[in-house]
Amino acid sequence: MTELTITPLTLHIGAQIDGVDVTQPLDENTINLIRAALLKWKVIFFRNQNLDHPQHIRFARYFGAPTPGHVIFGSDETYPEIYSVAKHRTANARRAPVIHSWTNWHTDITAAINPPFASILRGVVVPPYGGDTHWTNAAKAYQSLSPALRNFLDTLRCVHQYAPSVGPATENTADQYEKQVGKTAFISEHPLVTIHPETGERLLYISPDFVDCIVGLSPTESRAMLEMLWRHLVRNEFTVRFKWEQGSIAFWDNRATAHLAPADIFDSDFDRQFYRITLQGEVPVGVDGKPSTAISGQPIEPIT
């Protein structure tokens, strides 16, 4: 029987797990303890775990069904579950021209009708310094709002899109995106506040990189409300900052967090090579019990 040591890294999010070798097969009790720690701390970290691709995939499958490495940018040719997070990858082209405190914070692929439940990222080539990643607790951010504002937000829905260069998210936008890039756009309408399917927590579901607008508000009202909420979401006391080492793993609940990939690595000559697996998620549900709806794009299917 494995005895895990779980060390919290902040008051509200993040814990390091020691006492387990995830390169080896895991017993059911260990799997359950890791999942419980994930649900409690939202993101969990392991050190000195030098996984290869097959071991990474086996570890991920203990907790869910892997999806294609990245539904936009593709996957490893041999291991379709694996997405290469290299220093100079395609996703970096989406940098915002205007920088705010929430710029580049995101929850993975929320433009899809069923965003991933979790992501598991491992560091293989890690800079000696720089390149830290941040996560924030969307449940704590929601709980910290006033009751009156929470009640209002509970009634709202947002449009999330992965077509940032072609204007407001509509079915017409999806057609434009497909003509420009040759792929179907992911555009979905999600509740602004979702219910975590395992813990029952209420979560601010407002991925800054993907939310286009709040349904029913004017553009001015929507933008002002979103900017206030994004600024609140990434307050320091809700976040954890992780310093990577070679062999580190970060495993986060994509339903309950947003994260910030590092930009400082582009100011150095250091290389950085990580690999990620995402696990299939469910369709989010709001406080009123109504699920999200798809505007464009199909559900993300697992790799069997």
The answer to whether residue 270 sits within a structural domain is yes
- Average the pLDDT over 156-184 and give the result: 63
pLDDT in tens, 189-241: 999 999 999 999 999 999 999 999 999 999 999 999 999 999 999 999 999 99
Average pLDDT over residues 278-290: 98
Q: Which domain holds residue 64?
A: 5-296
pLDDT value for 165:
46
Is 58 catalytic? The answer is: no
Could you count the other beta carbons within 10 Å of the beta carbon of residue 286? 20
Residue 233 counted as domain residue? yes
Give per-residue pLDDT as tens, 44-54: 999 999 999 99
For 246, left (φ over 0), alpha (ψ -120 to 50), or beta? beta
- Catalytic: 108? yes
* Closest listed residue to residue 204, CA positions, set 137, 112, 261, 146: 137
**12, 157, 160, 259: which one is catalytic?**
259
Paired tokens of 58? 């086996």
- Between CA 65 and CA 57 the distance in angstroms is 10
Asked if residue 302 belongs to a domain, the reply is: no
- Name the active-site residue from 134, 160, 202, 276: 276
* Position 174 confidence tier, pLDDT thresholds 50, 70, 90: low
Residue 85 forms part of a structural domain: yes
Residue 160 falls in the annotated catalytic set? no
Instruction: Decide: 255 and 199 in contact? Cβ < 8 Å.
Output: no
**Number of domains making up the chain:** 1
Tell me what pLDDT residue 90 has.
52
267 is an active site residue: no
Whether 53 is in a domain gets the answer yes
Token representation of residue 1: 């029987």
pLDDT in tens, 75-123: 888 999 999 999 876 544 445 568 899 999 999 999 999 999 999 999 9
Question: Does residue 12 lie in a domain region?
Answer: yes
Of residues 217 and 175, more confidently modeled: 217
- Going from the C-alpha of 76 to that of each of 123, 181, 210, 213, the distances in angstroms are 16, 20, 25, 34
Catalytic residue, candidates 70, 108, 134, 190: 108
Catalytic residue selected from 106, 160, 202, 232: 106
Identify whether the C-beta of residue 21 lies closer than 8 Å to the C-beta of residue 146: no
304 is a domain residue: no
**74 band by pLDDT with thresholds 50, 70 and 90:** confident
pLDDT beyond 60 at 281: yes
> CA torsion angle for 284, 288, 290, 295 (degrees, to 10)?
-80
Which class for 194: exposed (0-12), middle (13-18), buried (19 or more C-beta within 10 A)?
A: buried
Domain containing residue 212: CATH number: 3.60.130.10
The answer to the question of residue 301 being in a domain is no
CA distance 80 to 57: 10
